Structure 1
Amino acid sequence: MSPINSYQGNLLVVDDTPDNLRLLSAMLSEQGYKVRKALNGQMALNTIYQVPPDLILLDINMPQMNGYDVCQNLKSNEKTQEIPVIFISALDDVLDKVKAFKMGGVDYITKPFQTEEVIARIENQLTIQRQKKQLQQEVKERQKTEETLRIYLHAVSHDLRNPVLGMSMVLKNFLKKNKELQKQLIEIPETILEQMVSSCDRQLNLINSLVETQQFEMGGVSLNCQSLNLFSLTQQLASEWELILKEHQAILINNISADLPLINGDSDRLWRVFENLMANALKHNSQGIQLTLNAEVITTEESLSMIRCTLGDNGIGMSPQQAETLFERYHRGEVAKRTLGLGLGLYLCRQIIEAHGGKIGVLSQQNFGANFWFTLPITT
């Protein structure tokens, strides 16, 4: 058992009647609590500021400084405002109880009191305090872990990304000079250089996905939104992916109309979404697949006008069980498990689309292809 859970409790009892003070203190001491006593409000404050207790049992009717004044003083001080105060009083009027809670009290016990009731109410508040301290400790540990992870990811992005990027640039430079001079500068076949470049690019994608995922989780997805023409964006994407599609003997049909309303989005982030969805389709299907892009204006259940984009394929599809976990972090399909990857592509897609205020999903059946969809807000 942790120290927080095994600690019985340090209590302060404040009452201007000595007999009441002795009776209550003796009763609590018998239950194993460490009890301190104060005969008036000022004495209580002096004691509290020297060594803060875990809980205060505070009488209301006291001369010079009553219980309400003591509680108000404690709640105005950052060092003592979290100490739970249980008022004990012969006053049984509803207004007195309401005032006690308004002053910051957590509970109210009416005199004459029963031992069992007092113990139960004290233990209830101490349990809350223990749980609160435990939660605060867990939050601190989580923050420490996140800071350690942030430093680790910085090392990943710097110590791993830069050498891979440098290697990729050198190899691409070799290839460029070979083609410009129309001769081989080094005794390495051009196909080998191309494979090395491709390998570097895959490693960079893995590192970037890992770093980007952690950035999203720790700081959220930062967006640079502007009015975008979805047709222009996807046309440019199709042009840049022409060689990749050719390698997979795949066809991309872009049915997105140029007349669609403008969307409010971050072009770089949305480009990443389209790329991840297309790469996912090519990875999980055999060569010769057909991809189809569509988009339409819809009205959501919340009466919002959105554009619904879809990327469909005529591939192997998936079961409903597979579709349920598709957008979770580090999820990888059966085909992907045999390839290089972290299972972050679709997870990043979900993070980006949700940051735009949209939703993302998939409709699919085994052996009948997959239809990925997501919604985006229209520029107002």
Structure 2
Amino acid sequence: MPEPTPKADILVIDDTPENLNLLSVLLIKHGYKVRSVTKGSTGIRGAQVMPPDLILLDVNMPQMSGYEVCHHLKADDRTREIPIIFISALEAVSDKVKAFQAGGVDYITKPFQIEEVLARIETHLTLRRLQSQLQLQNEQLQQEIRERKHAEEKFATIFQHSPNPIAIVTVSEGQLMEVNPSFLSISGYTRDQVIGNSITQLHLGHDSTTFLRRLQTTETFHNLEFELLTHSGSVKSILLSFDRIELNGTTYALLIANDITERKRLENEFISLVSHELRTPLTSMMGSLDLLSSGQLGGLTEQGQQVLSIGVKNAERLIRLINDILDLERIRSGKITMNRRSCNLADLMIQATEEMQAMADRSKIQLSTEPVSILLNADPDRIVQALTNLLSNAIKFSPAQTTVQMQACSSGHTPSVCISVCDQGRGIPSHQIQTIFERFQQVDTSDARQKGGTGLGLSICRNIIEQHGGRIWVESTVKQGSTFYIELPLNT
């Protein structure tokens, strides 16, 4: 059976062997480890080599008195913190004062009572342990302070020198608490004009109130397009990313922007090019291909028919891409007005299912729709467009002989309806969940041509749903399937 761990290591320095033996036996009996020496110089060396937890020190000793021993121990960094209790037959107050002045923590008069010695030892060991713990905690706190200060200095450097506009605002009121020079540069405001004012007070966007509401209800978002109204009245197109941070018990929003004004200008030029320079020759080309396939210009060999079929498919895909680009830009720019009217969600779900039934049959996919009769104030054509886009994606990326299910239910917490489209397809990797609704984003581009996708369908869906004051998101597990959700308000 292993010996129990000693309660503490005590060094006893006394020139009287009888005293040493008595103290050693009593202390060992009560669970302490004891080292005994009869000379002050020996005790000093022993304490320096292996510092004890506590020292019991006699005053009157030859060659070196207890006071001198104590002075030596307190002058050495290795032994300075060791508590020293004097044990002496000297009873004069001046002797006790001298002991405390030398650095002793206590003074016991001979002949001593063992209970008193044990009580004094335990008290000062406890005080020593507490002091050590406090010292350790203080060192840890100082280290944390140094690390935090270093992190703050690093953050401040990045914040101030970042080429991206950055702002820290309160989530509750959208009040600007701190901005970096890049933010001031793009907005045209001075620091004094910005700090302390809110996003709505400065009118930083066409609809600052809606943006503030999104800050308050969303934990995070990335690459949100936002039109920034500058101090001069000009408009800058920016991409905003947002994360919540906690500072001194208050929740703030960390906004990081990316200026895409020039990119938007080039996009608009591209849209104009697509609209005017590509659609006309493509329409003409499709007419020519249709004429060839009809046989009115003569027959084609089997190989010729295959080449013609490839040309038709690619032309159709290019037309779909052009139409999707134009459609998305018209929705995003507000050039397409949502013609809202009262409509029944059940009718829209049935219509979307019927439109996609032929595609599902070709792919040997079972469509299961559970329509729910709920009245919406919405543009029925656009809602059907969003639903057919989701059904089309689910069918494209599902294996044969599986089921694509569309359901709807009303929310018990808010006046809204939630529509879900669930498939048993390939799923979406977690790192793509955040970007799947961006333009030209596809989970796997290797078979995009074969599937006929343009990479714009989900982006169109998101814009349609957001134009209706709703939201769209996806939950997915790779190799098991995905479920897309649309939430639409019922009170607008």
TM-score (norm 1): 0.54
**For the Cα contact (< 8 Å) 2:353–2:388, is it kept in 1?**
no
Partner residue, 1:167: 285
Partner residue, 2:481: 369
* 2:274 counterpart (133, 142, 156): 156
The amino acid across from 2:374 in the alignment is P
Partner residue, 2:137: none
Partner residue, 1:323: 433
How far is 1:268 from its partner?
A: 2.4
Runs of 5+ unmatched residues, structure 1: 1-81, 87-131
- SS across alignment from 1:222: coil
How far is 1:157 from its partner?
A: 1.7
**For the Cα contact (< 8 Å) 2:448–2:454, is it kept in 1?**
no
User: Residues 277, 83 of structure 1: CA spacing in aligned structure 2 closer, same or farther, 3 A cutoff?
Assistant: closer
Quick one: distance in 1 between partners of 2:390 and 2:397?
11
User: Residues 368, 147 of structure 1: CA spacing in aligned structure 2 closer, same or farther, 3 A cutoff?
Assistant: closer
Partner residue, 2:448: 339
* 1:311 counterpart (421, 428, 452): 421
Runs of 5+ unmatched residues, structure 2: 1-187, 193-229, 238-258
Q: Deviation string for 1:280-327 (max 9, x for gaps)? A: 223333333311111111144xx3x11211111122323433323221
Quick one: distance in 2 between partners of 1:231 and 1:198?
34
Matched positions, count: 240
Partner residue, 1:126: none
Q: How does 1:200-211 map to 2 (within 5 A)?
A: 200-211=315-326
Instruction: Give the CA RMSD over aligned residues.
Output: 3.5
Bigger RCO of structures 1 and 2 (CA < 8 A, at least 6 apart): 1
Partner residue, 1:271: 384
Quick one: distance in 1 between partners of 2:481 and 2:297?
46
How far is 1:342 from its partner?
A: 4.4
Q: How does 1:195-344 map to 2 (within 5 A)?
A: 195-219=310-334, 222-257=337-372, 260-300=373-413, 303=414, 305-334=415-444, 336-340=445-449, 341-344=453-456
The amino acid across from 1:206 in the alignment is L
**For the Cα contact (< 8 Å) 2:437–2:458, is it kept in 1?**
yes
Query: What is the aligned-residue identity percentage?
Result: 27
How far is 1:195 from its partner?
A: 4.8
User: Residues 145, 320 of structure 1: CA spacing in aligned structure 2 closer, same or farther, 3 A cutoff?
Assistant: closer
How far is 1:339 from its partner?
A: 1.7
**For the Cα contact (< 8 Å) 1:221–1:355, is it kept in 2?**
no
* 1:353 counterpart (447, 462, 465): 465
Q: How does 1:109-124 map to 2 (within 5 A)?
A: none
- SS across alignment from 1:339: helix
Quick one: distance in 2 between partners of 1:318 and 1:224?
33
Quick one: distance in 2 between partners of 1:261 and 1:283?
29
How far is 1:352 from its partner?
A: 1.0
Quick one: distance in 2 between partners of 1:229 and 1:249?
29
Larger radius of gyration: 2
**For the Cα contact (< 8 Å) 1:221–1:352, is it kept in 2?**
no
Partner residue, 1:3: none
Quick one: distance in 2 between partners of 1:292 and 1:173?
40
How far is 1:204 from its partner?
A: 1.2
Quick one: distance in 1 between partners of 2:262 and 2:429?
40
The amino acid across from 2:397 in the alignment is H
User: Residues 289, 135 of structure 1: CA spacing in aligned structure 2 closer, same or farther, 3 A cutoff?
Assistant: farther
- SS across alignment from 1:357: coil
**For the Cα contact (< 8 Å) 2:342–2:378, is it kept in 1?**
yes
**For the Cα contact (< 8 Å) 2:291–2:297, is it kept in 1?**
no
**For the Cα contact (< 8 Å) 2:351–2:384, is it kept in 1?**
no
Quick one: distance in 2 between partners of 1:375 and 1:221?
21
Q: How does 1:86-97 map to 2 (within 5 A)?
A: none
User: Residues 358, 197 of structure 1: CA spacing in aligned structure 2 closer, same or farther, 3 A cutoff?
Assistant: same
Q: How does 1:176-195 map to 2 (within 5 A)?
A: 186-188=298-300, 195=310
User: Residues 332, 144 of structure 1: CA spacing in aligned structure 2 closer, same or farther, 3 A cutoff?
Assistant: closer
Quick one: distance in 2 between partners of 1:83 and 1:287?
59
